[in-house]
């Protein structure tokens, strides 16, 4: 398998999406701006954010600066954001999405996702995404944290098939049933928290495999994602780690090692729909934009 940092997958509407990107969850605006600039400087061409992360403005600033610094155009970068839970519903999604574009300093995104399947609202939110897509403000649309039942709901009632389902996915949480469903319906699975929030990095079994290839556990996990066709978006605020997370293209895991890691699945989620109250509870998870302490101009 010949992969490079420029490797892409083809979504079900024909749009090509980089298979490796940078995630920016739990990063403040200043940190997001810097991380985006580092990532693009070192060859990344996909950036993933969300309104709920509270750092779209930082991502927008970092993207604008990185394009200028590296002689790139907006179309050279694949930008993903997500509809905030508190904005869900048809009219509210349409109204608030334009503000997201403004913060991101762009007039379109490459992929727009429903962040979470808020009960009673996500069907209308999906209709709004279809309109945004038809207007050319998103090149592809999809969902995040949707289980099979909710994916089936969107497939049954929508007129456009989701291109992506972004799920928590790592060696201890492999969402096998959801991945199989996505494969059957030509929906790409994208991994958030591909390194398990760091929890899997100390796994002795993975360390043994990493030693065999003279790589880190993180590099083995990310390469494992790529070899399965999974889109992956590791997060880091350290330039050297951003570089290391993309140093995946001078080795290939054997079929035996890919299969062995598949055997580590414990269905061990750190977050999942069933644990939250999204039935109209205004204090439920995701009903507020997260705030990570900012510095400089963002602290104003």
Query: What is the reported pLDDT for 279?
Result: 44
Flag whether pLDDT at 36 surpasses 50. Answer: yes
Mean pLDDT for the chain?
91
For the stretch 14-26, pLDDT in tens is 999 999 999 999 9
**Higher per-residue pLDDT: 284 or 14:** 14
Give the pLDDT band of residue 119 (cuts 50, 70, 90).
confident
**Higher per-residue pLDDT: 242 or 294:** 242
Question: Residue 124's Cα: distance from chain center in Å?
Answer: 22
Domain extents in the chain: 17-199+230-237
Lowest pLDDT segment from 90-104, 161-175, 272-286: 272-286
- Percent of the chain scoring above 70 in pLDDT: 89
- Nearest 5 degrees, angle CA 110-CA 114-CA 117? 165
The C-alpha atoms of residue 59 and residue 22 are separated, in whole angstroms, by 11
For the stretch 209-239, pLDDT in tens is 999 999 999 999 999 999 999 999 999 999 9
> Which residues are identified as catalytic?
53
In sequence order, the 6+-apart residues with CB closer than 8 A to the CB of 171 are 196, 200, 203, 206, 221, 224, 261, 264, 265
Query: What is the reported pLDDT for 288?
Result: 54
Strands 16-18 and 8-10: antiparallel
Cβ-contact 157, 124 below 8 angstroms: no
Q: Provide the CATH number for the domain formed by 17-199+230-237 in this structure.
A: 3.20.20.100
Query: What is the reported pLDDT for 278?
Result: 46
The C-alpha atoms of residue 236 and residue 24 are separated, in whole angstroms, by 7
**Higher per-residue pLDDT: 284 or 28:** 28
């Amino acid at each position: 398998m010949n992969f490079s940092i420029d490797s892409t997958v083809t979504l079900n509407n024909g749009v090509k999406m980089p298979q490796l990107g940078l995630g920016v969850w739990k990063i403040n605006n200043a940190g997001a701006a810097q991380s985006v600039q580092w990532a693009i400087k070192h060859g990344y061409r996909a950036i993933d954010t969300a309104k709920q992360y509270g750092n779209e403005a930082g991502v927008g600033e970092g993207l604008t600066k990185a394009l200028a610094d590296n002689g790139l155009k907006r179309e050279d970068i694949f930008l993903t954001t997500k509809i905030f839970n508190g904005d869900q519903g048809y009219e509210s999604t349409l109204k608030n999405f334009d503000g997201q574009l403004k913060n991101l300093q762009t007039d379109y995104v490459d992929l727009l996702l429903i962040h979470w399947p808020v009960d009673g609202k996500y069907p209308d939110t999906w209709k709004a995404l279809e309109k945004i897509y038809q207007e050319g403000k998103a090149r592809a649309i999809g969902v995040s944290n949707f289980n099979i039942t909710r994916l089936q709901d969107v497939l049954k009632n929508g007129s456009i098939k989701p291109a992506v389902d972004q799920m928590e996915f790592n060696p201890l949480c492999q969402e096998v049933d959801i991945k199989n469903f996505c494969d059957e319906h030509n929906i790409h699975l994208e991994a958030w928290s591909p390194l398990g929030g760091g929890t899997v990095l100390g796994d002795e079994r993975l360390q043994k495999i990493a030693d065999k290839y003279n790589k880190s556990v993180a590099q083995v996990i990310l390469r494992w994602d790529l070899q399965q066709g999974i889109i992956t978006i590791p997060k880091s605020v350290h330039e050297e780690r951003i570089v290391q997370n993309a140093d995946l293209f001078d080795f290939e895991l054997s079929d035996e090692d890919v299969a062995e890691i598949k055997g580590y699945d414990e269905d061990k989620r750190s977050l999942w729909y069933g644990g939250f109250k999204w039935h109209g509870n205004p204090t439920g998870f995701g009903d507020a934009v997260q705030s990570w302490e900012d510095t400089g101009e963002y602290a104003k």
